[in-house]
Each structure stands twice: as structure tokens, then as C-alpha cells.
Amino acid sequence: MNRYLKYLTGKLKWYILTFFIAVFLNFFLPRFIPGNPVSALVAQMAGGGASSDVLDKLYNSYIQEFGLDKPWYTQFINYVLKVFHGDLGISFSLYPTKVNTILSHALPWTIALQAPAILIGWIIGNLLGALAAYKKGKFDSAFFPLALFINSIPYYCLAIILLYLFGVLLDVFPIGGGYSMQLIPSFSITFLIDALKHYLLPFFSLILVTIGGQAIGMREMSIYELNTDYVRYAKLLGISEKKITRYVFKNAMLPQITGLAISLGTMVGGALITEIVFSYPGIGTWLFNGIRQQDYPLIQGGTLVITMAVLLANFLIDIVYGIVDPRIRMAQMEE
């Protein structure tokens, strides 16, 4: 247990360092933008016919909030302190809404869209991939190119094609949004059915790609395992086919499980563009809005949330692996 603790603290230190670097990049990169983003923004708002009183107030509050008169390291420390208090600042485009509020409304939509697509797609994909490797012959030669083709269509292109086919041409699904405009989000039956209708199309576009990718990976791993010496030896010994396949697929599954953990980590940032295509009210759509309106706090908040999700997932994988597989622990200790 002592050793494990040592492994864990080592990992934790590394992740804290990575987190700081991520926060630093998040803070620093948008500061390369030439000119003062605040005055550009205020000028942009003046075009919208806002009164000068409001503009002054806006300008001062932004300058104060960012402490733009202070040196950059003071700004950075303030930014980090705010991040640690869970404060991502105030949105430019939806002033005076907090970025926290926007993102915490967006995150459940993204997770509700991605988590089931990844999990179900992973299960179906692995079953199909294993089947293709096992059956070979006609099934494999029909299945493999199809899976490869689906996998090489970028997920957002597939989304656009599905949107046109089922949303416009056949008109069976709504073509955008998370729910109908006239409804207010609640847990009523009408709302849930409506939300489900909006959900299915983006869901299918994501799950198809997941199935394709997982099936190819699993097929490859299974073929590799089926050709190993221990399988040949087991066959020579006359061990039943059923028993062998069980061992083969158990071994082939290992890397696939890592893959699942990683995709769950990249979940928040993984479907940004699918959300844009379907104007689904998740993180991606808000990031897109932020970029279009040069809303830097919103962009920074979005990218930070995506990064933190990935870091957290990786850390969890490391914790679990440390428990499950002592070899990994040892290898890491040596580094």
C-alpha cells in the first residue's frame, strides 16, 4: 500500500504540473491578440446602438475584471486564483452572465449526448469486430471495408449527411436544437419526448462512428491474438474452440478498455462540431458562439473545461491501472 501511495503522489504531482501548464496556455495564448480586446469589443457594441453610459460602465468593468493595467504575472496569479475558486469570469457577449452559468447549462447536454453514444457504440463495435475476426470469410470481407469507410468519414461530415437525409429529405427528425423553441426545459413528458426527437439524429451520427472505430480496432487485435503461438498450442492440445475464443477475446479486450477510458475523457471536447452541425446546446455550440463573437472569457472557459475533463479522466485511469496492474506501477516508478 505504501508503494501505491508513492506511485499515486508521483502521479498527482505530475497532473498538478500539467494542470498549471494548461491553465497558463489558456491564460497566455489569447493575450497575443493585437490590440486591446476590450476596446474592440466596446466599439463593436457601440455599433449595436448601446448608450455611452452603458459602454463606459462595460469598459471599466472589463478593465477592472482583467486588471489589464497590472503586469502580466499579477494578472496570471489572479486568473489562477479565480480558476481555483471555480470562477471563469463574465461573458463578453452575454454580459453580465457568468461563464460558469453558461457552461454549467451546456455541460449536461454534451454529456447526455456523448456518454451513451460512446458506451453503446463501444459494446456493439467490439462485438462486431470480434465476430468479423472470428468468422472471417464473407462476413469479414463485407464488414471490414464498410467499417473502414464509416470510420474514415469524419464524424461531422457524417452528421451533415444524416442531417440532410433524415432532417430535410425525409423530414422525420427536427434539424437543430436540443428541444423545440416553444418549450421550457422541465421533466414533463412532452418535453422529454421532444428532447428525445432532437437527440436521436446527433446520437446516431456519433454512435455510428464509434462502432466503426471500435470494430476496426477489435478486429485487428483479435486477428493478432488468434494467430499467436498460445492459440496454436491450445488447438494442438485439443482444447475446445469455445474456451480458446474466450481467452483470445479477453486478451484482445485489454487495449480496447483503455480506449474506452480515453474516449470517456475526451467526451466533453469530442463532439464539438457535431453539436455545431445540429445546433445542439452543448459546450461545442457555445464555444462556436464565443469564437464568432470574440467572447474570450467564454472561449477560455470552454477550453479549460474540456482540458480538465481530459486530465481528470487520465488521472482516474492511472489510479485504476495502478491498482489493477502492478507492472505499470513498477514501470512508472522507474521513470
Partner 1 sequence: MKLLKTLLKSKKFIIGLCVFLLLLFGSLIFTTISSHDPAEMIGFLYEPPSKEHLLGTDNFGRDVLIELIYGMKTSIYVGLLSGIIATFIGTTIGTTAGYLGKTIDNILNSITNLFLVIPSFVILILLSVSLRSRSLTLLAMIIGITSWPWTARAVRAQTSSLKTREHVNMAKLNGEGYVEIVLKEILPYMLSYIFMVFVLQVASGILSEAGLSMLGLGPSNTISLGKMLSWALLYEAVRTGAWWAFIPPALTIAIITFSLLYMNTGMDEVFNPRLRS
Which spans of this chain sit near partner 1 (rule: CB under 8 A)?
Answer: 14, 18, 21-22, 25-26, 29-34, 133, 136, 140, 148-149, 151-154, 156-158, 160-161, 163-164, 167-169, 175, 220, 223-224, 226-227, 266, 269, 272-273, 276-277, 287-288, 291-292, 296, 299-300, 303, 306-307, 310-311, 314, 335
- In the chain, DSSP assigns E strands to none
CB of 140 to partner 1, least distance (A): 7
Closest distance of CB 80 from partner 1, Å: 16
Question: Is 99 or 163 the residue whose CB approaches partner 1 more closely?
Answer: 163
What type of residue sits at position 67? G
Q: Which is nearer to partner 1, 155 or 203 (CB)?
A: 155
Q: Assess contact for 132 and 143: CB atoms under 8 A.
A: yes
Residue among 131, 112, 31 nearest 75 (CA):
31
Gap between the Cα atoms of 216 and 211, Å rounded: 9
Min CB(196)–partner 1 separation in Å: 21
Say how far apart CA 254 and CA 236 lie, in whole Å. 25
C-alpha gyration radius of the chain: 25
Closer residue to partner 1 (CB): 25 or 239? 25
CB of 38 to partner 1, least distance (A): 15
- Cβ proximity to partner 1, 126 vs 222, nearer residue: 222
Quote the least distance from Cβ 269 to partner 1, whole Å. 6
Comparing CB distances to partner 1, the nearer of 91 and 300 is 300
Q: What is the largest CA-CA distance in the chain?
A: 88
From 166, 146, 120, 117, select the one nearest 275 (Cα to Cα).
117
d(CA 210, CA 204): 10
Q: Which is nearer to partner 1, 4 or 28 (CB)?
A: 28
Report whether 56 contacts 32 (CB < 8 A).
no
In whole angstroms, the minimum distance from the beta carbon of 184 to partner 1 comes to 24
